[in-house]
Structure 1
Amino acid sequence: MKYKIALVTLFIITVFNCKTQETVTLKTDFNFDWNFKLEDSVSGITDTEWQKIRLPHDWSIANKLDSIKGEGATGYLLGGIGYYKKDFVTNLNNNQVAYILFDGVYNNATISLNEKELGFHPYGYSPFYYDITAALNENGNKNTINVKVDRTRYADSRWYTGSGIYRNVKFITKNKLHIPIWGSFITTPSITNELATVSIQTTINNKYNTTKTAELTTTIYDKDDIVINTDTKKITIAKNASQKDLTTINVNNPKLWDIDNPTLYTAITTIVQDDVIIDTHKTKFGIRSIKFDADTGFYLNGKNRKIKGVCLHHDAGIVGSAVPKGVWKRRLQTLKDIGCNAIRISHNPASNEFLDLCDEMGFLVQDEFFDEWDNPKDKRKNMNEKSVDYITRGYTEHFQEWAEKDLKNTVLSHRNHPSIFQWSIGNEIEWTYPRNAESTGFFNNMDWSGNYFWSLPPNNISTIKEKLNTLPKGKYDIGKTAKKLTKWTKELDTTRYVIANSILPSSSYESGYADALDIIGFSYRRVIYDYGHKNYPKLPIMGTESLGQWHEWKSVIERPFISGTFLWTGIDYMGESNKSWPKKGTASGLLDLAGFKKPSYHMFNALWNNDPNIYITSQTLDKSIYKLDANGNPIEKKEGSWEKNLWFWHNVNEHWNYNDNDATVVEVYSNCEEVELFLNNKSLGTKKLSSFKDHIYKWVVPFKKGTLKAIGLKDDKKVETVITTTTKPVAIKLTTDKQKLTANGYTVAHIIAQILDKDGNPVQTENQIINFNITGDAKLLGVDNGSITSTQNFNSNKVKTSKGRALLIIQSLQNKTTPIKINANSASLKSNQIEITLEPNNN
């Protein structure tokens, strides 16, 4: 028999056969009502007044870009020392304990409560918590928690990190007999269509001074909150002790978690004494199986699938690293729409909120632990460290002492997310161990635009072995460190595969590094896929950092033994723009900094999406990558160059505005077998995809004003797209992705401003400064035009458009419900007005 019950917030539930319950298990949102001030010795600014803020909070993104004091590695935004404090009152009874849980603070954080230091946490990406019971003042008296964040090392990374308490914080109270934070681990060791075995490992802490006996009950609910099955047993725990319980529960006819149907279940475990619920613990999980085969690739739930993945850094442009869930959801959905099914969190652990979204939306996730191990990388040069100064001191300073704790905290916190299918122990580590780099023959004679990407290793296997045996050894050995990291990972989870992103796999195979891995990931080394499979056939291979080009995907689909790839990157990101001012970030993404689609996005829509799709771009012949052959057809200026394209898409436009009779090259990205192109309803001919090795349809078209239309045919289905010559701008059109927001202080709306001509066509060739006018209960999170070279402050209501468009993000306020009205204007243009209603927060 199935029962339906409500799952109530804060895990206070009704359990059958229990007479009463204590409201002693509370997981409270601790993000509101903080105070903040900044001490910034770099810019000479010191805030003496406390500002009222809500977490998550990134103070660096609110700064102005600084080309003089700032560093391109971290996006020309400065750090400083940030001080946070929050006053609160508790009402605990003698049977309770209290914890505070931080999902991430960047970085070098010192946490104190009532002037008692709780601890220091240097790593900016790992979650951590403290038992604060002993430091609390008596009930009814004010408590003050202080967090000092030292980001004076503002160039301590190779990408933009943000500064401050940029992830969620929770205050948790429990009975002294309780399931601790991260105290449940759920696996699904056996799955068939008829039956799944769910294994639930539960830790129980007894902080009483006497032995305790209780009843432990675990109930599994489906996505509709219907009871599937339950288990109850008696437990006895010695005083001041901790023990683990293993429970097995069967699920009949399980609904599997899959990238197409990401079904989630919920397990609620309760501890009951004398018919009173004294503790509850809620865990969402998925039932799914994963397998990598060295010859045939990746299997999800027994089905062979290619991993169509992208790498993502943790910033989101406008909002920096304190990214609202709704901002990530818009970005992830845009990637999902073209068939993207996997995310590599590069090069650090994700937030739990991000992983929740991946669970809910159906993304596989590679969760990466570290970008540096024993030896540092040069943050400015993006290679082994060339210079030593204070502001670039990064995680290597703490690795020996903190790596095990940070890795294990991450695994404990994240291991119930069904989206995670790989743990990555490191990213491009080899170059920081000199003999590993030297043994390959690369990096001493490397040309970034040439031989590394397209050449086999200069040294053969025997030479690599010899050099690894004879070259001077450093203080640390890459193979030994890798084995240590893998050991720590597998002490807590053996259900996922351990991988690393190897930039020198030919060395890694022989140095002991690859021996520590379940899969080896190649970083821009698709040219040695066959080399790796032939010489080391037992170790599965995939691309873990690859170029967003057709030749990369072609190399994957031609090889069954390659499981898939992660493109660098899914979205443009802040930083890694060393000495490139005014370029503040890296434009390698399929989406730009504002989440707008780029031409490469449409190309991968053609490569990854089975539904018929088609997209037009254009460029004048002289600015294009083509020349004309003897028959007047466009051919590459350098034959075969498409096979060696690197990170950035070639220069094309998404408009049809040129001078009369300009020779233009029209490109069409499509998965259709054939496409016919029309100019002003006159056919310019039908072409077949099989005729283009670079997977791009091409026509040479003398420009005429009007409409360019492409019609594609795939599997007897037609699909078409058009671009039209635009006239002068006459208006601004505002659109929003949300008509309603919940007044909880979290929900967001994205408002896009697009300049239009008199016929309502988007004008991409003219840009204007737009002012957004906002009334009602909204917080302005920022504005952006998506351009990697825009140097204006994000924290503004004014922005110059790029390609005729710009983005505004607003956020609701807690318990404020005055409707939001937004319009925009420039010096010569006005917009429509949009209205967003605010619904009361009932949680």
Structure 2
Amino acid sequence: MIAALFLMCGLNASATAQAPRERLNIDKGWRFAYGHADDEAADFGYGLRPFFFAKAGYGDGPANPEFSDAGWRKVDLPHDWAVELPFDQRGNTNHGSKAIGHPFPENSVGWYRKTLTIPASDKGRRISLELDGVYRNSVVWINGHYLGTEPSGYSGFRYDITDYVNFGGENLIAVRADATVEEGWYYEGAGIYRHVWLTKTDPLHVAQWGTFVRSTVEGANARLDIDLTVQNVFKSEQGFAIRHEVVDARGQVVAETTQADRSVNAVSDGVFAATLTLSEAHLWSLEDPYLYTLRTSLLRDGQVVDRYDTRFGVRTVTFDPDKGFFLNGKAVKLQGTNNHQDHAGVGVALPDGLQTWRLKQLKSFGVNAYRASHHPPTPELLDEADRLGMLVIDEHRMMGTSPEITHQLERLIRRDRNHPSIILWSVGNEEWALEWKDIGTHLALEMQDFVRRLDPTRRTTVATSGSGKGTSIGADVIGFNYGAQHDVDGFHAQHPEKPALMTEEGSTLTTRGIYFDDPARVHLNAYDRQGRPGSSLSIEEGWTRVMARPWMSGMFVWTGFDYRGETTPFGWPAISSQFGMVDTTGVLKDTAYYLKSVWTDQPMVHILPHWNWAGREGQPIDVRVYSNGDAVELFLNGKSLGRQAMPRYSHLRWRVPYAPGTLTARAYQKGRQVAVQSVTTTAAPTKVVARPDKTALKADGSDISVVWVQVSDKKGRPVPTADNLIDLKVSGPIRLIGVGNGDPGSHEADRPAERHRYARLSNWRSLAIDDLTATAAAVAQDADTSSWRDPSQWLPPEAQPPLTKSLVLRGEFARPDARPDEEVVLFVGALAADQALYVNGQPVQAETLDGALIVRLNPAQLREKNSLAYVFTTPAGGVQALYDQSVSASRWGSLRVTTPAAPWQRHLFNGWAQIIVQSTGEPGMARLVARSAGLTSAMVDFKVE
């Protein structure tokens, strides 16, 4: 579902009231800093203010609008701070051994702040803040007012902030995320890793996710049943008319209806049904993912007050217990993969373009279905699945019927139910405390009924690791996780009414480009085999079993992409899984080519392994070939090693004594050659090669290009065993946002980032002076301040001393523990126009950095205890007024130590690395340069417009 007006623009741009609805992306220009999970002082004093949570508007620390975040780092969203952290053996291996969680309280809380201007012309509209996903346990504040807490890292949430908005002025959004406690058992990232929106509507408007389009195919036509929820925030009943228009892919209105004389009571919601006939309906399918748009308008007194667009597709979906899955009446085997969200380099903060790129990588080897394991996917992934023709199992995070869990489930269903790509709702996965118990059956049935009330058009599933009792009995469509763990035939015989599919199969363990196990480097050979004998099957065995059972709807391989965490069978130093058909960067492993041979019809042949085996001359090499031909002949240096018939759903195998040269496989269909592939022994690398997926980028600050990096020998052949270190530089309006190489044991930085450490000045004292000749003694480093006033101590009006001409304000800070390459900056306040500044008694001049006043310090010249002193004309209200505006003195001074970001570089792993570049928002020409010592560099030019 998409709002009618989708603007990727800044809020300070002209946002007129002409549009009935505006949905503004506010990803750009946030400030970020690490807080602290255990130490309130290190968490910027959050929660220490009197009446902090007792009184409205008492947001504390960064939640206070007056708090200064001038020293914080600038970031654009989506942002994952966990991917920027180092690897650490104390970290949770299941979460990728990142330095986050209970052992690392200094890394487990993140603060985000953004100031935005909302025009005075918006007064009278409803303003809503929408966050698609924050990991995790987020607290949101607006202008110092608490809005709420969302514990889940995967559920989108929304706050109506109208009552708190400063129309015609600045508004401060503060978000605190605490990723100390984990939700899953895999890498989950940390921070605002999905988009954030500001939505503006009339008080009478379509509710969030307030449309539901249900299609019924009737011959060549389709009946559309539309449910519309209208929200009226006015304090009086409102009358209006509803106009629905169906717009086809060409932009033409192909069906419409108008309903007059509708009304909603004051401060209430109303639900309105409508029916349309869509003539000559164009069905959504895998081959032709055709989309329509329902344009809904609300009219009051003939004027459009809201307009809301809903994208949908017309198709039929059937799960038959005897014949499997059908799309539009056509039998389709689900050729699926399970996937978590993270990607090499960027963690879980995927740009939209990377969502598209990843789906295309999966489609390249025949994937037609995607299971979002084990949580609701980001909305943009579903948008792309709709556009590209990819079926989706949309999965809820946790089984249960408590208010919190059902509210999260309801948000999932309402958000996603118009997507034609979604074929099943999954309400649980391997809930071991429930799978063999009656409560599992009960909860599965209750959740199934809950989902049906929200969406009667789709069935539900539960993915189970054990069947015969519990959740499997309550499942509507049974999802088997791993055939070796179930008697699938016995279950089918006992429950012939239940459709079935393999929700997980394979769990194979392979390292891309490795063909002999190397446990010391946490590498495993890439030949397909049972990853966990007795618990799972090989990819080939799994697919063969599915194809032997017409009633089995399909198979979802565990997994499509490798992902951080869950490092089976290794612990540290492994940092990522090895279950994927592609590695963490999306390079196809050999098992992906097996699936391509059985999942696609385009003629292909694939040889494994590579043919660089110096030192193994004469030793037999296990050579395997995948192809969708009916026979393959293998040649070594032009000599035939024999032609073999290709078994169905299988592979061919030769034992070939190694000799340098070229190994060639020729695939045949009915005696005619249809595909050929060769692997060749290469020489030493001479040149870096960089291949972008595109070189034309939009100047929107979001568009990306994925760049493969290899090295080639003097004949231009990629070297499959290369491990060269590649140094990266960019110029022009692009930036590097992530690098990776797919090595499950690499601890290199995926996303180098500078790190700030902060310390507040303390022991503040003030001295009232009339005689400026006393200034030198007052600011001296050894000045005795024991009798000075504590400015934080409140005095009643009658006890306030008389104001003097001038004031000395003085605080202390310890010498920071800083490395020679680290920058130390003292942030100072602009307390008065005539202020003079002194550090350790010496006058200093402040400079402006990004709108803030700073004093650069040399730690070698500092003492163990140091002072900052201000001298300025006493302000109206004196010390008390000065402190009241200081946010507990935090605006008077703070120290920042900056660790510079590591250089952007990455070793190749088995000949590959990946770079992701992104436009900065400015047009122009840009260049990426990839260098490696002793080799010719690679340059890629980009046009950004």
Q: Could you tell me the TM-score, scaled by structure 1's length? A: 0.82
Q: Deviation digits for residues 429-480 of structure 1, max 9, x if unmatched?
A: 1x224xx55xxxxxxxxxxxxxxxxxxxxxxxxxxxxxx68xxxxxxx2222
What residue is the counterpart of 2:77 in the other structure? 55
Q: How does 1:545-564 map to 2 (within 5 A)?
A: 545-547=504-506, 549-564=539-554
Output the CA distance in 1 between the equivalents of 2:403 and 2:186: 24
Q: Secondary structure at the match of 2:694?
A: coil
Contact 1:727 / 1:758 at 8 angstroms: preserved in 2?
Answer: yes
8 Å Cα contact 1:754-1:762 kept in structure 2:
yes
Counterpart in the other structure of 2:600: 609
Cα distance in 2, alignment partners of residues 177 and 424 from structure 1 = 34
Q: Which of 671, 687, 695 pairs up with 1:731?
A: 687
CA distance in 1, matches of 2:652, 2:43: 57
- Partner of 2:942 in structure 1? 836
Are the counterparts in 2 of residues 349 and 368 from structure 1 also a CA contact under 8 Å?
A: yes
Deviation string, structure 1 residues 94-129 (Cα, Å, up to 9, x no partner) = 541111111111110111111111111001111111
Correspondence 1:168 to 2:130: no
1:432 corresponds to = 433
Distance 1:577 1:664 in 2: 28
CA distance in 1 between partners of 2:396 and 2:620 (Å): 51
Relative distance call for 1:70 and 1:428 in structure 2 (3 A) is closer
The 5 A counterparts of 1:139-538 are 139-153=167-181, 155-192=182-219, 194-234=220-260, 235-370=262-397, 372-373=398-399, 400-429=402-431, 431-433=432-434, 437=436, 477-508=439-470, 513-525=471-483, 528-538=487-497
Between 523-532 and 733-742, report the one with greater CA deviation. Answer: 523-532
SS in 1 for 2:257: strand
- TM-score normalised according to structure 2 size: 0.73
Distance in 2 between residues matched to 1:736 and 1:656, nearest whole Å:
29
Q: 1:672 to 1:778 in 2, by over 3 A?
A: same
Letter in 2 for 1:544: T
Name stretches of at least 5 consecutive residues in structure 2 with no aligned partner: 9-15, 45-68, 101-106, 507-537, 753-903
Using the aligned pairs only, state the percent identity: 31
Matched residue of 1:530: which SS? helix
Work out the CA distance in 2 between the residues paired with 1:186 and 1:351: 21
- 1:209 deviates by 2.0
Q: 2:157 aligned with 1:131, yes or no?
A: no
AA aligned opposite 1:725:
T
SS of equivalent to 1:311 = strand
CA 255–655 in structure 1, closer or farther in 2 if over 3 Å, else same: farther
Residue 687 in structure 1 maps to residue 715 in structure 2: no
The verdict on how the C-alpha distance between 1:491 and 1:608 changes in structure 2, with shifts beyond 3 A counting, is same
Cα offsets for 1:248-302 (capped at 9, x unmatched): 1111111111111111111110111233211000110000110111111111001
* Corresponding residue SS for 1:559: coil
Question: Does structure 2 retain, via aligned residues, the 8 Å contact 1:657–1:726?
Answer: no
Distance 2:207 2:115 in 1: 25
Relative to structure 1, the CA distance from residue 105 to residue 8 in structure 2 (aligned partners, 3 Å threshold; closer, same or farther) is closer
Alignment check: 8 A CA contact 2:611 2:680 kept: no
Q: Which amino acid aligns with 1:531?
A: G
Helix, strand or coil at the partner of 1:835: strand
**Rounded Cα–Cα distance in structure 1 between residues aligned with 2:709 and 2:937:** 8
Query: 1:583 pairs with 569, 574, 578, which one?
Result: 574
What amino acid maps onto 1:231 in structure 2? Answer: T
* 2:749 is the alignment partner of 1:758: no
**Residues in 2 aligned to 1:713 and 1:213: alpha-carbon distance in whole angstroms:** 70
Q: Distance in 2 between matches of 1:9 and 1:792?
A: 38
| Cα gap change, 1:670 to 1:562, in 2 (>3 Å) | same
Q: Which amino acid aligns with 1:537?
A: P
The structure with more radius of gyration:
2
1:611 maps to amino acid: Q
Counterpart of 2:19 in structure 1 is 23
CA contact (8 A) 2:543 2:649 kept: no
| TM-aligned CA distance change 1:214 to 1:694, over 3 Å | closer
- The whole-number CA distance in structure 2 between the counterparts of 1:93 and 1:780 is 37
- In structure 2, distance between residues paired with 1:22 and 1:678: 70
Taking a change above 3 Å as real, the CA distance of residues 478 and 9 of structure 1, as seen in their structure-2 partners, is closer
CA distance change for structure 1 residues 140 and 188 in 2, over 3 Å: closer, same or farther?
Answer: same
- For 2:475, the aligned partner's letter is L
Determine if contact 1:658/1:703 at 8 Å carries over to the other structure. no
Matched, 1:675 2:781: no
The alpha carbon displacement at 1:827 in A equals 1.9
Deviation at 1:523, TM superposition (A): 0.6
Which of residues 86, 89, 96 in structure 1 aligns to 2:117?
89
> Do 2:7 and 2:25's aligned partners in 1 also have CA atoms closer than 8 Å?
no
Question: Residue type matched to 1:416 in 2?
Answer: N
Rounded Cα–Cα distance in structure 1 between residues aligned with 2:180 and 2:727:
34
2:925 to 813, 816, 819: 819
Q: Secondary structure at the match of 2:209?
A: coil
What is the CA–CA distance in structure 1 between the aligned matches of 2:661 and 2:38, rounded to whole Å? 54
Deviations 1:472-514 (A, max 9, x none): xxxxx22222223222212211111110101111223xxxx34
SS in 2 for 1:402: helix
Asked whether the 8 Å contact 2:483–2:542 carries over to 1, the reply is no
Note the C-alpha offset of 1:303.
0.5
Distance (Å, rounded) in 2 between the aligned partners of 1:185 and 1:72: 38
CA distance in 2, matches of 1:75, 1:53: 24
Structure 1 unpaired stretches of 5+: 1-6, 12-19, 375-398, 438-467, 470-476, 619-652
**Contact 2:666/2:673, CA 8 A, preserved across alignment:** no
What secondary structure does 2:155 align onto?
coil
Report the Cα offset of residue 834 of structure 1. Answer: 1.2
Counterparts of 1:680 and 1:76, CA distance in 2: 47
Residues 210, 66 of structure 1: alpha-carbon distance in 2 compared, 3 angstrom cutoff: same
Shift of 1:577: 2.4
Structure-to-structure mapping, 1:561-640, within 5 angstroms: 561-577=551-567, 580-618=571-609
1:110-125 map, 5 Å: 110-125=139-154
Equivalent AA in structure 1 for residue 745 of structure 2: T
For residues 499 and 132 of structure 1, what CA distance do their matches in structure 2 show?
Answer: 37
* Partner SS state of residue 574, structure 1: coil
- How many Å separate the matches in 2 of 1:663 and 1:525? 34
Whether 1:76 and 2:77 are equivalent positions in the alignment is: no
The residue identity in structure 2 corresponding to 1:819 is M
Q: Name the count of aligned residue pairs.
A: 716
- Is the Cα–Cα contact under 8 Å of residues 76 and 575 in structure 1 kept in the other structure? no
C-alpha separation between the residues in 2 aligned to 1:518 and 1:478?
13
| Closer/same/farther in 2, CA of residues 500 and 8 from structure 1, 3 Å limit | closer
Among candidates 747, 751, 758, match of residue 795 of structure 1: 751
